[in-house]
Structure 1
Protein backbone atom coordinates (compact mmCIF):
# COMPACT_ATOMS: atom_id res chain seq x y z
CA UNK A 1 0.00 0.00 0.00
CA UNK A 2 1.32 3.42 -0.95
CA UNK A 3 1.87 5.67 2.06
CA UNK A 4 3.15 9.24 2.46
CA UNK A 5 5.30 10.17 5.44
CA UNK A 6 5.59 13.98 5.80
CA UNK A 7 9.11 15.27 6.34
CA UNK A 8 8.03 18.76 7.46
CA UNK A 9 4.64 20.28 8.22
CA UNK A 10 4.39 22.26 4.99
CA UNK A 11 6.43 20.52 2.30
CA UNK A 12 7.93 17.15 1.44
CA UNK A 13 6.99 13.52 2.06
CA UNK A 14 8.76 10.18 1.77
CA UNK A 15 6.81 7.55 -0.16
CA UNK A 16 6.69 3.86 0.72
CA UNK A 17 4.81 0.95 -0.79
CA UNK A 18 5.77 1.43 -4.43
CA UNK A 19 8.42 -0.21 -6.63
CA UNK A 20 9.46 2.07 -9.49
CA UNK A 21 11.02 -0.84 -11.39
CA UNK A 22 7.49 -2.01 -12.24
CA UNK A 23 4.76 -0.34 -14.34
CA UNK A 24 2.19 1.47 -12.24
CA UNK A 25 -1.53 0.81 -12.24
CA UNK A 26 -3.73 3.83 -12.95
CA UNK A 27 -4.97 3.78 -9.36
CA UNK A 28 -1.36 4.00 -8.14
CA UNK A 29 -0.67 6.92 -10.49
CA UNK A 30 -3.74 8.71 -9.14
CA UNK A 31 -2.70 8.13 -5.51
CA UNK A 32 0.82 9.39 -6.19
CA UNK A 33 -0.44 12.45 -8.03
CA UNK A 34 -2.75 13.40 -5.18
CA UNK A 35 0.09 12.98 -2.68
CA UNK A 36 2.37 15.04 -4.91
CA UNK A 37 -0.15 17.87 -5.13
CA UNK A 38 -0.50 17.84 -1.34
CA UNK A 39 3.17 17.57 -0.34
CA UNK A 40 4.72 19.34 -3.41
CA UNK A 41 7.85 17.17 -3.43
CA UNK A 42 7.97 13.40 -2.98
CA UNK A 43 11.03 11.39 -1.99
CA UNK A 44 11.37 7.75 -3.09
CA UNK A 45 14.17 5.89 -1.27
CA UNK A 46 16.00 2.73 -2.37
CA UNK A 47 14.74 2.85 -5.95
CA UNK A 48 17.65 1.42 -7.95
CA UNK A 49 16.17 1.93 -11.39
CA UNK A 50 17.70 2.46 -14.82
CA UNK A 51 17.15 5.37 -17.20
CA UNK A 52 14.31 3.67 -19.08
CA UNK A 53 12.41 2.89 -15.84
CA UNK A 54 13.01 6.47 -14.71
CA UNK A 55 11.58 7.78 -17.98
CA UNK A 56 8.54 5.50 -17.94
CA UNK A 57 7.73 6.52 -14.37
CA UNK A 58 7.94 10.22 -15.33
CA UNK A 59 5.64 9.78 -18.33
CA UNK A 60 2.81 8.74 -16.01
CA UNK A 61 2.59 12.37 -14.92
CA UNK A 62 3.32 14.53 -17.97
CA UNK A 63 4.84 14.81 -21.42
CA UNK A 64 8.57 15.01 -21.99
CA UNK A 65 10.18 18.43 -21.68
CA UNK A 66 13.40 19.21 -23.56
CA UNK A 67 15.30 21.96 -21.70
CA UNK A 68 16.58 24.76 -23.93
CA UNK A 69 20.15 24.39 -22.68
CA UNK A 70 20.44 20.59 -22.59
CA UNK A 71 23.60 19.55 -24.39
CA UNK A 72 22.57 16.01 -25.39
CA UNK A 73 19.36 16.79 -27.24
CA UNK A 74 18.88 13.19 -28.36
CA UNK A 75 18.50 11.78 -24.84
CA UNK A 76 15.41 12.28 -22.66
CA UNK A 77 17.65 12.05 -19.60
CA UNK A 78 19.47 15.19 -18.47
CA UNK A 79 22.68 14.12 -16.73
CA UNK A 80 23.98 16.51 -14.06
CA UNK A 81 27.59 15.48 -13.50
CA UNK A 82 29.50 17.94 -11.31
CA UNK A 83 32.53 18.25 -9.08
CA UNK A 84 32.69 22.06 -8.78
CA UNK A 85 29.06 23.26 -8.72
CA UNK A 86 29.62 26.65 -7.13
CA UNK A 87 28.09 29.43 -9.24
CA UNK A 88 26.79 27.09 -11.94
CA UNK A 89 23.26 28.38 -11.28
CA UNK A 90 21.54 25.67 -9.24
CA UNK A 91 23.04 27.05 -6.01
CA UNK A 92 20.43 29.79 -5.81
CA UNK A 93 16.70 29.55 -5.25
CA UNK A 94 14.88 28.92 -8.52
CA UNK A 95 12.06 27.18 -10.34
CA UNK A 96 13.22 25.23 -13.38
CA UNK A 97 13.25 26.99 -16.73
CA UNK A 98 10.58 29.63 -16.10
CA UNK A 99 11.82 31.33 -19.29
CA UNK A 100 10.37 28.48 -21.38
CA UNK A 101 6.88 28.53 -22.87
CA UNK A 102 5.28 26.69 -21.24
CA UNK A 103 7.52 26.29 -18.20
CA UNK A 104 7.89 22.66 -17.11
CA UNK A 105 5.33 21.24 -14.71
CA UNK A 106 7.71 19.07 -12.73
CA UNK A 107 11.05 17.32 -12.48
CA UNK A 108 12.14 13.87 -11.36
CA UNK A 109 15.74 13.80 -10.15
CA UNK A 110 17.54 10.53 -9.35
CA UNK A 111 20.78 10.12 -7.44
CA UNK A 112 23.38 7.96 -9.22
CA UNK A 113 26.64 8.98 -7.50
CA UNK A 114 27.38 11.11 -4.45
CA UNK A 115 30.37 12.82 -2.84
CA UNK A 116 31.43 11.45 0.52
CA UNK A 117 29.61 14.34 2.20
CA UNK A 118 27.40 17.19 1.03
CA UNK A 119 25.32 17.77 -2.07
CA UNK A 120 21.91 18.14 -0.38
CA UNK A 121 18.96 19.81 -2.12
CA UNK A 122 16.40 22.14 -0.51
CA UNK A 123 12.86 22.96 -1.66
CA UNK A 124 10.57 25.83 -0.63
CA UNK A 125 6.77 26.10 -0.65
CA UNK A 126 5.83 29.22 -2.63
CA UNK A 127 2.13 28.88 -1.78
CA UNK A 128 3.13 29.75 1.78
CA UNK A 129 5.46 32.47 0.60
CA UNK A 130 2.53 34.18 -1.12
CA UNK A 131 0.11 33.58 1.74
CA UNK A 132 2.55 35.08 4.28
CA UNK A 133 2.67 38.42 2.44
CA UNK A 134 0.51 41.22 3.81
CA UNK A 135 -2.87 41.62 2.06
CA UNK A 136 -1.75 44.92 0.52
CA UNK A 137 1.37 43.38 -1.04
CA UNK A 138 -0.67 40.37 -2.17
CA UNK A 139 -3.08 42.65 -4.03
CA UNK A 140 -0.20 44.49 -5.68
CA UNK A 141 1.48 41.25 -6.73
CA UNK A 142 -1.80 39.86 -8.07
CA UNK A 143 -1.77 42.64 -10.68
CA UNK A 144 1.90 42.42 -11.70
CA UNK A 145 3.82 40.52 -14.34
CA UNK A 146 7.56 39.92 -14.45
CA UNK A 147 10.15 39.29 -17.16
CA UNK A 148 11.85 35.88 -17.20
CA UNK A 149 15.08 35.63 -19.19
CA UNK A 150 17.53 32.77 -19.88
CA UNK A 151 20.52 35.11 -20.29
CA UNK A 152 21.89 35.03 -16.73
CA UNK A 153 21.75 31.22 -16.61
CA UNK A 154 23.56 30.95 -19.93
CA UNK A 155 26.29 33.40 -18.92
CA UNK A 156 26.97 31.36 -15.76
CA UNK A 157 27.15 28.14 -17.75
CA UNK A 158 29.48 29.67 -20.34
CA UNK A 159 31.73 31.10 -17.62
CA UNK A 160 32.05 27.57 -16.19
CA UNK A 161 33.24 26.28 -19.57
CA UNK A 162 30.03 24.92 -21.11
CA UNK A 163 30.08 25.45 -24.91
CA UNK A 164 26.81 27.31 -25.46
CA UNK A 165 26.24 29.96 -28.15
CA UNK A 166 24.61 32.77 -26.16
CA UNK A 167 23.23 34.61 -29.19
CA UNK A 168 21.68 31.43 -30.59
CA UNK A 169 20.04 30.50 -27.28
CA UNK A 170 18.71 34.05 -26.76
CA UNK A 171 17.10 33.97 -30.22
CA UNK A 172 15.56 30.58 -29.56
CA UNK A 173 14.39 31.47 -26.03
CA UNK A 174 13.56 35.21 -25.93
CA UNK A 175 12.49 36.94 -22.68
CA UNK A 176 8.82 36.63 -21.79
CA UNK A 177 6.38 37.94 -19.21
CA UNK A 178 4.66 35.83 -16.58
CA UNK A 179 2.30 36.67 -13.70
CA UNK A 180 4.09 37.36 -10.43
CA UNK A 181 1.38 35.27 -8.75
CA UNK A 182 0.71 31.96 -10.46
CA UNK A 183 -2.62 30.20 -9.96
CA UNK A 184 -2.02 26.46 -9.85
CA UNK A 185 -3.99 24.74 -12.63
CA UNK A 186 -4.91 21.74 -10.46
CA UNK A 187 -5.30 23.11 -6.93
CA UNK A 188 -6.43 26.68 -7.64
CA UNK A 189 -4.02 27.99 -4.99
CA UNK A 190 -1.88 31.07 -5.55
CA UNK A 191 1.92 30.85 -5.44
CA UNK A 192 4.64 33.48 -5.67
CA UNK A 193 6.31 33.00 -9.06
CA UNK A 194 9.51 35.03 -9.24
CA UNK A 195 13.02 33.67 -8.73
CA UNK A 196 16.59 34.90 -8.59
CA UNK A 197 17.87 32.75 -11.45
CA UNK A 198 15.70 34.13 -14.26
CA UNK A 199 13.34 36.92 -13.13
CA UNK A 200 14.89 40.21 -14.22
CA UNK A 201 12.26 42.90 -13.55
CA UNK A 202 8.66 43.67 -12.62
CA UNK A 203 6.79 45.11 -15.58
CA UNK A 204 5.38 48.62 -15.29
CA UNK A 205 7.42 49.63 -12.23
CA UNK A 206 10.25 52.14 -12.19
CA UNK A 207 13.84 51.05 -11.69
CA UNK A 208 13.77 52.24 -8.11
CA UNK A 209 10.52 50.39 -7.40
CA UNK A 210 12.05 47.26 -8.91
CA UNK A 211 15.15 47.66 -6.75
CA UNK A 212 12.94 47.67 -3.67
CA UNK A 213 10.20 45.15 -4.43
CA UNK A 214 11.74 42.43 -6.58
CA UNK A 215 14.56 41.49 -4.13
CA UNK A 216 12.03 41.49 -1.29
CA UNK A 217 9.81 38.98 -3.12
CA UNK A 218 12.74 36.82 -4.22
CA UNK A 219 14.30 36.70 -0.76
CA UNK A 220 10.95 36.09 0.93
CA UNK A 221 10.96 32.38 0.04
CA UNK A 222 14.21 31.82 1.99
CA UNK A 223 12.42 31.54 5.32
CA UNK A 224 13.13 28.08 6.83
CA UNK A 225 9.51 27.36 7.76
CA UNK A 226 8.68 27.11 4.03
CA UNK A 227 11.47 24.61 3.35
CA UNK A 228 12.56 20.99 3.39
CA UNK A 229 16.11 19.67 2.95
CA UNK A 230 16.92 16.28 1.44
CA UNK A 231 20.05 14.32 2.23
CA UNK A 232 20.47 12.20 -0.86
CA UNK A 233 21.38 8.53 -1.01
CA UNK A 234 22.22 6.59 -4.16
CA UNK A 235 18.86 5.26 -5.35
CA UNK A 236 16.82 8.20 -4.04
CA UNK A 237 14.46 9.87 -6.51
CA UNK A 238 12.80 13.25 -5.85
CA UNK A 239 9.70 14.32 -7.79
CA UNK A 240 8.65 17.95 -7.36
CA UNK A 241 5.92 20.23 -8.64
CA UNK A 242 7.74 23.10 -10.33
CA UNK A 243 4.69 25.38 -10.14
CA UNK A 244 4.44 26.05 -6.36
CA UNK A 245 8.03 25.30 -5.35
CA UNK A 246 11.56 26.56 -5.71
CA UNK A 247 14.71 24.57 -5.01
CA UNK A 248 18.35 25.08 -4.16
CA UNK A 249 21.23 22.67 -4.78
CA UNK A 250 23.75 23.06 -1.96
CA UNK A 251 27.19 23.52 -3.58
CA UNK A 252 29.30 22.28 -0.65
CA UNK A 253 31.27 19.50 -2.33
CA UNK A 254 34.30 19.01 -4.58
CA UNK A 255 33.90 15.31 -5.34
CA UNK A 256 31.82 13.87 -8.15
CA UNK A 257 28.04 14.11 -7.86
CA UNK A 258 26.02 12.55 -10.67
CA UNK A 259 22.25 12.93 -10.96
CA UNK A 260 19.84 11.95 -13.74
CA UNK A 261 16.78 14.11 -14.36
CA UNK A 262 13.62 13.85 -16.42
CA UNK A 263 11.54 17.02 -16.75
CA UNK A 264 7.87 16.92 -17.73
CA UNK A 265 5.30 19.35 -19.08
CA UNK A 266 1.67 19.21 -18.02
CA UNK A 267 -0.88 17.06 -19.81
CA UNK A 268 -3.45 19.34 -21.56
CA UNK A 269 -6.02 18.74 -18.81
CA UNK A 270 -3.52 19.96 -16.18
CA UNK A 271 -2.07 22.91 -18.10
CA UNK A 272 -2.37 26.55 -17.09
CA UNK A 273 -5.34 28.27 -18.64
Structure 2
Protein backbone atom coordinates (compact mmCIF):
# COMPACT_ATOMS: atom_id res chain seq x y z
CA UNK A 1 0.00 0.00 0.00
CA UNK A 2 1.44 3.36 -0.92
CA UNK A 3 1.71 6.31 1.45
CA UNK A 4 -0.84 8.25 -0.61
CA UNK A 5 -3.56 5.67 0.07
CA UNK A 6 -2.64 4.76 3.65
CA UNK A 7 -5.39 6.80 5.30
CA UNK A 8 -9.06 5.97 5.21
CA UNK A 9 -11.17 8.00 2.78
CA UNK A 10 -13.02 9.68 5.63
CA UNK A 11 -11.35 12.81 7.05
CA UNK A 12 -10.98 13.29 10.77
CA UNK A 13 -13.55 15.37 12.60
CA UNK A 14 -13.17 18.92 11.31
CA UNK A 15 -14.16 20.54 14.62
CA UNK A 16 -11.67 22.86 16.28
CA UNK A 17 -8.69 21.11 17.84
CA UNK A 18 -7.81 21.63 21.50
CA UNK A 19 -4.34 23.16 22.06
CA UNK A 20 -3.03 23.08 25.65
CA UNK A 21 0.28 24.91 26.22
CA UNK A 22 2.76 23.21 28.54
CA UNK A 23 5.14 26.17 28.86
CA UNK A 24 4.64 29.80 27.80
CA UNK A 25 6.62 29.53 24.53
CA UNK A 26 7.74 25.91 24.15
CA UNK A 27 5.55 22.82 24.05
CA UNK A 28 1.82 22.21 23.74
CA UNK A 29 -0.40 19.14 23.77
CA UNK A 30 -2.99 18.86 21.01
CA UNK A 31 -6.22 17.00 21.71
CA UNK A 32 -9.39 16.38 19.76
CA UNK A 33 -7.85 15.04 16.56
CA UNK A 34 -7.11 11.52 15.32
CA UNK A 35 -3.91 11.91 13.30
CA UNK A 36 -4.22 8.40 11.89
CA UNK A 37 -6.87 9.86 9.54
CA UNK A 38 -6.47 12.62 6.97
CA UNK A 39 -6.61 16.14 8.36
CA UNK A 40 -8.95 18.82 7.16
CA UNK A 41 -7.26 21.93 5.80
CA UNK A 42 -8.32 23.77 8.95
CA UNK A 43 -6.81 21.12 11.22
CA UNK A 44 -3.57 21.00 9.28
CA UNK A 45 -3.21 24.78 9.36
CA UNK A 46 -4.03 24.91 13.08
CA UNK A 47 -1.39 22.27 13.85
CA UNK A 48 1.22 24.09 11.78
CA UNK A 49 0.38 27.40 13.50
CA UNK A 50 0.74 25.70 16.91
CA UNK A 51 4.13 24.32 15.90
CA UNK A 52 5.33 27.77 14.84
CA UNK A 53 4.12 29.24 18.14
CA UNK A 54 5.19 26.46 20.54
CA UNK A 55 8.07 24.85 18.57
CA UNK A 56 6.99 21.31 19.54
CA UNK A 57 3.53 19.79 19.92
CA UNK A 58 2.48 16.47 21.38
CA UNK A 59 -0.37 14.05 20.67
CA UNK A 60 -1.54 11.38 23.10
CA UNK A 61 -3.38 8.07 22.62
CA UNK A 62 -2.77 7.82 18.89
CA UNK A 63 -2.80 4.55 16.93
CA UNK A 64 -0.28 5.15 14.17
CA UNK A 65 1.51 2.47 12.23
CA UNK A 66 4.31 3.06 9.72
CA UNK A 67 1.92 3.91 6.89
CA UNK A 68 -0.26 6.34 8.81
CA UNK A 69 2.80 7.87 10.47
CA UNK A 70 4.22 8.67 7.03
CA UNK A 71 0.88 9.84 5.66
CA UNK A 72 0.38 12.25 8.58
CA UNK A 73 3.85 13.77 8.16
CA UNK A 74 3.45 14.07 4.37
CA UNK A 75 0.58 16.51 4.83
CA UNK A 76 3.17 19.08 6.00
CA UNK A 77 5.72 18.75 3.20
CA UNK A 78 7.91 16.32 1.23
CA UNK A 79 9.49 13.62 3.36
CA UNK A 80 13.23 13.29 3.77
CA UNK A 81 15.06 9.99 3.26
CA UNK A 82 17.50 9.75 6.19
CA UNK A 83 20.72 7.84 5.32
CA UNK A 84 20.24 5.12 7.95
CA UNK A 85 16.50 4.81 7.53
CA UNK A 86 14.79 1.57 6.49
CA UNK A 87 11.70 1.13 4.39
CA UNK A 88 8.92 -1.40 4.06
CA UNK A 89 7.33 -1.81 0.61
CA UNK A 90 6.33 1.66 -0.63
CA UNK A 91 6.41 3.36 2.77
CA UNK A 92 8.78 6.28 3.11
CA UNK A 93 11.98 5.30 4.96
CA UNK A 94 11.64 5.62 8.72
CA UNK A 95 14.58 6.29 11.03
CA UNK A 96 14.62 4.11 14.13
CA UNK A 97 15.64 5.99 17.29
CA UNK A 98 17.09 3.00 19.08
CA UNK A 99 18.66 3.05 22.55
CA UNK A 100 20.81 0.08 21.56
CA UNK A 101 22.20 1.90 18.52
CA UNK A 102 22.61 5.14 20.49
CA UNK A 103 24.80 3.51 23.14
CA UNK A 104 27.14 2.27 20.44
CA UNK A 105 27.23 5.62 18.65
CA UNK A 106 28.04 7.61 21.79
CA UNK A 107 30.93 5.25 22.52
CA UNK A 108 32.32 6.00 19.08
CA UNK A 109 31.83 9.79 19.02
CA UNK A 110 35.04 11.79 19.06
CA UNK A 111 34.72 15.23 20.59
CA UNK A 112 37.20 18.06 21.11
CA UNK A 113 39.23 17.75 24.29
CA UNK A 114 37.29 20.51 26.05
CA UNK A 115 34.12 18.40 25.92
CA UNK A 116 35.65 15.31 27.48
CA UNK A 117 34.62 15.14 31.09
CA UNK A 118 32.44 18.24 30.67
CA UNK A 119 29.32 16.88 29.01
CA UNK A 120 27.78 13.45 28.86
CA UNK A 121 25.48 11.72 26.40
CA UNK A 122 22.48 13.44 27.97
CA UNK A 123 23.96 16.84 27.13
CA UNK A 124 24.16 16.30 23.37
CA UNK A 125 21.64 19.01 22.54
CA UNK A 126 21.06 18.91 18.82
CA UNK A 127 18.75 19.50 15.88
CA UNK A 128 18.23 16.83 13.25
CA UNK A 129 20.18 16.77 9.97
CA UNK A 130 22.00 20.02 10.75
CA UNK A 131 24.97 18.45 8.95
CA UNK A 132 23.14 19.17 5.67
CA UNK A 133 23.17 22.47 3.77
CA UNK A 134 19.38 22.62 4.13
CA UNK A 135 18.29 20.60 7.19
CA UNK A 136 14.85 19.07 7.52
CA UNK A 137 12.33 21.57 8.88
CA UNK A 138 10.05 19.16 10.76
CA UNK A 139 10.24 15.87 12.62
CA UNK A 140 7.44 13.51 13.65
CA UNK A 141 8.48 11.00 16.31
CA UNK A 142 6.25 8.22 17.67
CA UNK A 143 6.67 5.84 20.58
CA UNK A 144 7.18 2.17 19.70
CA UNK A 145 8.72 0.45 22.75
CA UNK A 146 9.07 2.44 25.98
CA UNK A 147 10.71 1.68 29.34
CA UNK A 148 8.35 1.40 32.32
CA UNK A 149 9.71 4.72 33.65
CA UNK A 150 12.19 7.29 32.36
CA UNK A 151 13.22 8.07 28.82
CA UNK A 152 11.77 11.58 28.59
CA UNK A 153 12.81 13.99 25.83
CA UNK A 154 13.63 17.67 26.43
CA UNK A 155 13.18 20.43 23.86
CA UNK A 156 14.73 23.89 24.18
CA UNK A 157 13.28 27.12 22.78
CA UNK A 158 16.35 28.25 20.84
CA UNK A 159 14.92 31.75 20.41
CA UNK A 160 14.61 32.19 24.18
CA UNK A 161 18.14 30.80 24.56
CA UNK A 162 19.34 33.54 22.20
CA UNK A 163 17.27 36.30 23.81
CA UNK A 164 18.62 35.36 27.24
CA UNK A 165 22.22 36.09 26.25
CA UNK A 166 24.01 39.32 27.22
CA UNK A 167 23.99 41.86 24.38
CA UNK A 168 27.75 41.65 23.79
CA UNK A 169 27.56 37.86 23.47
CA UNK A 170 24.61 38.12 21.06
CA UNK A 171 26.67 40.45 18.88
CA UNK A 172 29.68 38.12 19.00
CA UNK A 173 27.72 34.99 18.11
CA UNK A 174 25.84 36.71 15.28
CA UNK A 175 29.18 37.22 13.53
CA UNK A 176 30.23 33.57 13.71
CA UNK A 177 29.65 30.28 11.94
CA UNK A 178 29.84 26.95 13.75
CA UNK A 179 30.83 23.55 12.35
CA UNK A 180 28.29 20.70 12.14
CA UNK A 181 30.54 17.70 11.56
CA UNK A 182 28.71 14.40 11.06
CA UNK A 183 31.51 12.76 9.07
CA UNK A 184 32.05 9.86 11.45
CA UNK A 185 28.49 8.59 11.11
CA UNK A 186 28.06 9.48 7.43
CA UNK A 187 31.23 7.57 6.50
CA UNK A 188 30.17 4.59 8.59
CA UNK A 189 26.88 4.49 6.67
CA UNK A 190 28.75 4.42 3.36
CA UNK A 191 27.87 7.99 2.29
CA UNK A 192 29.86 11.11 1.50
CA UNK A 193 28.93 14.68 2.40
CA UNK A 194 31.09 17.77 2.96
CA UNK A 195 31.56 19.20 6.43
CA UNK A 196 29.12 22.10 6.81
CA UNK A 197 29.28 25.28 8.91
CA UNK A 198 26.08 27.22 9.66
CA UNK A 199 25.53 30.64 11.25
CA UNK A 200 25.56 30.32 15.04
CA UNK A 201 22.51 32.59 15.06
CA UNK A 202 20.01 31.95 12.27
CA UNK A 203 16.76 33.74 11.47
CA UNK A 204 13.68 31.54 11.30
CA UNK A 205 12.22 31.80 7.83
CA UNK A 206 8.57 31.90 8.91
CA UNK A 207 8.59 33.61 12.30
CA UNK A 208 11.54 35.97 11.77
CA UNK A 209 12.90 35.11 15.23
CA UNK A 210 16.62 34.65 15.87
CA UNK A 211 17.66 31.13 16.83
CA UNK A 212 20.77 30.07 18.77
CA UNK A 213 21.94 27.06 16.81
CA UNK A 214 24.70 24.64 17.87
CA UNK A 215 24.71 20.84 17.60
CA UNK A 216 26.66 19.20 20.44
CA UNK A 217 26.55 15.76 18.85
CA UNK A 218 28.48 16.96 15.77
CA UNK A 219 31.89 18.16 16.97
CA UNK A 220 31.00 21.85 17.05
CA UNK A 221 33.68 24.50 16.66
CA UNK A 222 33.31 28.21 15.96
CA UNK A 223 35.23 29.40 12.93
CA UNK A 224 37.41 32.48 12.81
CA UNK A 225 38.38 32.52 16.50
CA UNK A 226 41.08 30.83 18.57
CA UNK A 227 40.23 27.35 19.81
CA UNK A 228 40.18 28.47 23.45
CA UNK A 229 37.64 31.17 22.63
CA UNK A 230 35.57 28.73 20.59
CA UNK A 231 35.51 26.32 23.53
CA UNK A 232 34.43 29.05 25.93
CA UNK A 233 31.64 30.17 23.60
CA UNK A 234 30.40 26.60 23.18
CA UNK A 235 30.14 26.23 26.94
CA UNK A 236 28.19 29.50 27.17
CA UNK A 237 25.68 28.24 24.61
CA UNK A 238 25.42 24.91 26.42
CA UNK A 239 24.58 26.74 29.66
CA UNK A 240 21.76 28.53 27.84
CA UNK A 241 20.34 25.29 26.49
CA UNK A 242 20.39 23.74 29.97
CA UNK A 243 18.38 26.52 31.63
CA UNK A 244 15.03 24.95 32.64
CA UNK A 245 13.03 28.12 31.94
CA UNK A 246 13.85 27.65 28.24
CA UNK A 247 12.78 23.97 28.17
CA UNK A 248 9.81 21.65 28.01
CA UNK A 249 10.14 18.03 29.14
CA UNK A 250 7.88 15.37 27.68
CA UNK A 251 7.09 12.04 29.36
CA UNK A 252 6.42 9.42 26.69
CA UNK A 253 3.48 7.03 26.97
CA UNK A 254 2.16 4.36 24.58
CA UNK A 255 0.45 6.16 21.70
CA UNK A 256 2.49 9.36 22.12
CA UNK A 257 3.64 11.40 19.11
CA UNK A 258 5.86 14.50 19.07
CA UNK A 259 6.00 16.92 16.12
CA UNK A 260 8.55 19.72 16.26
CA UNK A 261 10.01 22.58 14.26
CA UNK A 262 13.62 21.55 13.76
CA UNK A 263 14.49 25.17 12.88
CA UNK A 264 13.27 26.59 16.20
CA UNK A 265 14.28 24.09 18.88
CA UNK A 266 17.10 21.79 19.94
CA UNK A 267 16.47 18.64 21.94
CA UNK A 268 18.01 15.68 23.72
CA UNK A 269 16.86 12.36 25.06
CA UNK A 270 17.20 11.63 28.78
CA UNK A 271 18.92 8.25 29.04
CA UNK A 272 17.92 7.21 32.55
CA UNK A 273 16.36 3.81 31.87
CA UNK A 274 19.34 1.47 32.09
CA UNK A 275 19.64 -1.21 29.43
CA UNK A 276 16.01 -1.14 28.32
CA UNK A 277 15.87 -1.25 24.47
CA UNK A 278 13.79 1.93 24.13
CA UNK A 279 12.63 2.43 20.54
CA UNK A 280 10.93 5.29 18.74
CA UNK A 281 10.47 5.91 15.01
CA UNK A 282 11.00 9.27 13.32
CA UNK A 283 10.07 10.74 9.96
CA UNK A 284 11.61 14.02 8.79
CA UNK A 285 10.01 16.68 6.60
CA UNK A 286 12.25 18.44 4.07
CA UNK A 287 12.66 22.20 4.06
CA UNK A 288 12.44 24.36 0.98
CA UNK A 289 15.80 24.76 -0.74
CA UNK A 290 16.49 28.44 -1.24
CA UNK A 291 19.48 30.10 -2.83
CA UNK A 292 20.28 31.90 0.43
CA UNK A 293 20.72 28.54 2.19
CA UNK A 294 23.50 27.34 -0.11
Q: Say whether the fold is shared (TM-score over 0.5).
A: yes
1:200 CA displacement: 2.2
Q: 2:96 aligns with which of 71, 74, 79?
A: 79
Structure 1 stretches of at least 4 aligned residues deviating more than 3 Å after TM superposition: 83-91, 164-169
Q: Deviations over 1:8-47 (max 9, x none)?
A: 2221000011111211111211111001100110000001
> For residues 85 and 158 of structure 2, what CA distance do their matches in structure 1 show?
30
CA RMSD of aligned residues (A): 2.2
| CA distance 1:255–1:208, shift in 2 (3 Å) | closer
Are 1:261 and 2:278 counterparts?
Answer: no
1:67 CA displacement: 2.1
Q: 1:194 aligns with which of 190, 210, 214?
A: 214
Q: 5+ unaligned residues in a row in structure 2: which ranges? A: 1-15, 107-120
Are 1:109 and 2:109 counterparts?
Answer: no
CA contact (8 A) 2:134 2:289 kept: no
CA contact (8 A) 1:147 1:175 kept: yes
TM-score computed with the length of structure 2 as normaliser:
0.81
1:62 CA displacement: 1.9
SS where residue 147 of structure 1 aligns? strand
> For residues 188 and 101 of structure 2, what CA distance do their matches in structure 1 show?
22
CA contact (8 A) 1:12 1:40 kept: yes
> For residues 167 and 258 of structure 1, what CA distance do their matches in structure 2 show?
20
| CA distance 1:88–1:119, shift in 2 (3 Å) | farther
Q: 5+ unaligned residues in a row in structure 1: which ranges? A: 155-163
> For residues 45 and 85 of structure 2, what CA distance do their matches in structure 1 show?
33
SS where residue 197 of structure 1 aligns? coil
Please identify which structure carries the higher strand content: 1
**Relative CO higher for 1 or 2, CA cutoff 8 Å, sep ≥ 6?**
1
SS where residue 171 of structure 2 aligns? helix
Q: Deviations over 1:209-245 (max 9, x none)?
A: 1122122123321101011111101110000111111
